[in-house]
A and B are shown apart, each in its own frame.
Chain A
Amino acid sequence: MRQEYHPLAWLAWATAAAAIALMTLNPLYLTLLALAVLANYRVISLRSPTARQWGAFLKAGLLIWAITIPFNALMSHHGRYVLFRLPANWPLVGGAITLEAIAYGFARGLSLVLLLMIFATFNSAVDTARLLRRMPAFLYLAGMITSIALAFVPQMISALQEIREAQRVRGHRFRTIRDLLPLIMPLLTTGLERAIQLAESMEARGFGGSAASISRSLNYILKGMTLAGLLALLAGMFARSYWSRQAWIGILLSAGGLLLMTAAFWVQGRRVRRSRYRHELWLSRDTLMVACGAAAAAGILIARALNRAALFYYPYPPYSVWPAFDWRLGLLYALFMAPAWLLPPARAAQPKQLPLPR
């Protein structure tokens, strides 16, 4: 499948957008971001075969949103702006129905739908096999297991069908759950047999030859570093929550732990050498897209660092139900529309091109 952007560019975009989406409840900013994401999703779904299944998922998200608003309005009776009152003797729902409760339900539901939309766009736009090829080097074994599994899934499904047909031919009928046993056992056995064949062919092709090249002592040092990093992280989290007045102790400990782990990952990744059969193009529009996402995220983070209340929204008193809006921040949110802007217009039904190995 010909793809419009590099998978890593999409990953960067989705991470930035999700991080920014999780950071505010302000309905105006959320709406802006949602519109920007929606523009991308519309453009992508014209070109992606997998977008359709996400359509149903998104509809479910919208339904949840539609339920959230009245639910919150009926359950929460706080606020200054009372729209109307239900009889007080009705259980749970009785009392004032307030604008604040509706606004809160709206914002919460919107942030959930927004998150779904971001990842709907991401999943529709990115080919998983290409994403998997980008697994960081220190995780190469996990990546390898995952690719083996992804390659075996279609085989499993066809094996399942074959076994089913074979059992039917022999007169086996699948009526209750108990009748599934003659289906599961051959599947498991043939699967494990195939695994043995695969292991043999992997060894024949030299798998594991380089894994021995790490010396035993370095292995211990790396493991020890990871372990120390994890423990520092844990200690930092506890310090952060129990001595919240000296927050910096916890943050420092956690950051040190993360650094230590990153260093171990880096050394582990460095000894893995990978060759690429298919080089992927990183186009200038990939750079532009990532730059837009990064600029927007950085700008919003800086705005929040300068003024802690810039993104803050909480409709109930003592805060205001009316969201604040700064047009400069609004522009930054709109920047997430970049992928849709930068694409050339879709040509209808273009013939499939096979990517050529270079």
Chain B
Amino acid sequence: MRQAGWMNTLIILAASAVGVAAFLYPFFTLSPDQQMAGLAARAHANDAPLVLIILVVFCLGAILANLGSGEMNSKMVAVLGVLVAMNAVLRAIPGPGGFSAVFFLPILCGYAYGGVFGFLLGALSLLVSALMGGGVGPWLPYQMFTAGWVGLASAWIPDLRRFGRLESIVLAVWGAVLGMVFGAIMNIWFWPFVMPPAGDSTMYWSAGLGMRETLKRYAVFYVATSLWWDLGRAGGNALLILLFGPAVLKVLRRFQARFRFHITPAVEHAGAEPD
């Protein structure tokens, strides 16, 4: 079991690395010798989104297929299903700006139940809410990945339960940070493609920019377009965690004890049958 757990972690890390590379593609793809932005390079830039979507889908598949096979038992499946449903309902609650309650549960569950659980909760919540609202599209894999990372990253915070009030403050700050990061990452995937460039524009991506110039332009674009939206989301996360975090965490921990018991059959692989 231990090793399987380690391999799951490695798979999630490797798939995330491919995902990050796919997200950050516009920042490093065109090396100097490609800079003579000829016809071929531009034509290549046109089908980049398609290739990247396929890669992201593959990585999501790898994570979802392998997390399942290891330590998933009926309790995990049931609890995930219920929490995903709850989260999809929470997502539908409207709020000002980019506010959305969809990250509240993944952050707390990632923190309380571990990164893998948080990842699945975040990613599947967006899948379910897209299926419910009919929002299936090429943006969905990116959203699932990013929301999964929010849950995954929440597990990096060490257990702070002895510190009382400090715990929810730390989590609220972390939730705000994650809210900002989510926005910044989600912009990247469409930034190079929505409205690239003509010559002297200083906000948009264009093929063959250096890394530094690209980052600078992205920063301008980000501040000009989505910063306020993301501030709303980050503030919402922090507020929700500050207000409801301690109580929800208490419930989650109480149930964790109830879900933890495990029945092992007396004979290992008793039910094994040759395929």
Contacts and interface: CB of A to CB of B under 8 A. Distances in A.
Interface of A: 18-19, 22-25, 50, 53-54, 68, 71-72, 75-78, 100-101, 104-105, 108, 112, 115-116, 119, 122-124, 128, 131-132, 138-142, 144-153, 155-157, 160, 177-178, 180-181, 184-185, 187-189, 191-192, 194-196, 198-200, 202-203, 207-215, 219-220, 222-224, 226-227, 229-231, 233-234, 237-238, 241-242, 244-245, 258, 261, 264-265, 268, 270-271, 308-309, 311-312, 314, 316
A148 B81 contact: yes
Contacts of B14: 227, 230-231, 234
B272 to A, nearest CB: 5
B266 interface: no
A220 B193 CA distance: 40
Contacts of A139: 61, 64-65, 68
Contacts of B28: 241
Given A194-B82, A261-B58, A149 B124 contact: yes
Interface string B17-42: 11001100000111101100001101
Given A178-B243, A192-B251, A213 B275 contact: yes
Most buried by B among A54, A119, A141, A160: A141
Contacts of A145: 77, 80-81, 84, 120, 124
B166 interface: no
B134 A223 contact: no
A243 B88 CA distance: 44
A230 B46 contact: no
A78 B199 contact: yes
Contact of B131 (A128, A212, A213): A128
Contacts of B29: 241
A199 B75 contact: yes
Most chain B Cβ neighbours within 10 Å, of A140, A207, A244, A245: A244
A40 B124 CA distance: 30
A227 B134 contact: no
B244 A184 contact: yes
B62 interface: yes
Interface on chain A toward B: helix, strand, loop, or mixed SS? helix
Contact of A226 (B66, B77, B195): B66
Given A140-B68, A308-B43, A212 B18 contact: no
A108 B194 contact: yes
B59 A230 contact: yes
A144 B77 CA distance: 8
A178 B39 CA distance: 58
Interface stretch (B4-12, B153-161, B172-180, B215-223): B4-12
A81 B239 CA distance: 53
Given A146-B128, A160-B89, A211-B69, 4 more contacts: A105-B195, A142-B64, A150-B128, A185-B251
Contact of B85 (A78, A153, A264): A153
B97 interface: no
Given A188-B251, A215-B269, A208 B73 contact: yes
Chain B: interface size category: 35 or more
B271 interface: yes
Interface in B51-83: 55, 58-59, 61-62, 64-70, 72-75, 77-83
Given A75-B201, A152-B81, A244-B33, A258 B58 contact: yes
A342 B61 CA distance: 34
A180 B90 CA distance: 12
A237 B21 contact: yes
Contacts of A142: 64-65, 68, 120, 124
B69 A101 contact: no
Which one of B82, B136, B275 has the highest number of Cβ atoms from chain A below 10 Å of its Cβ?
B82
Contacts of A138: 61, 65
Given A192-B255, A198-B82, A238-B21, A223 B50 contact: no
A294 B5 CA distance: 41
Residue of A152, A156, A200, A308 with most chain B CB atoms under a 10 A cut-off: A152
Contact of B132 (A22, A78, A150, A245): A150
Contacts of B50: 19, 22-23
B43 A148 contact: no
B198 A76 contact: yes
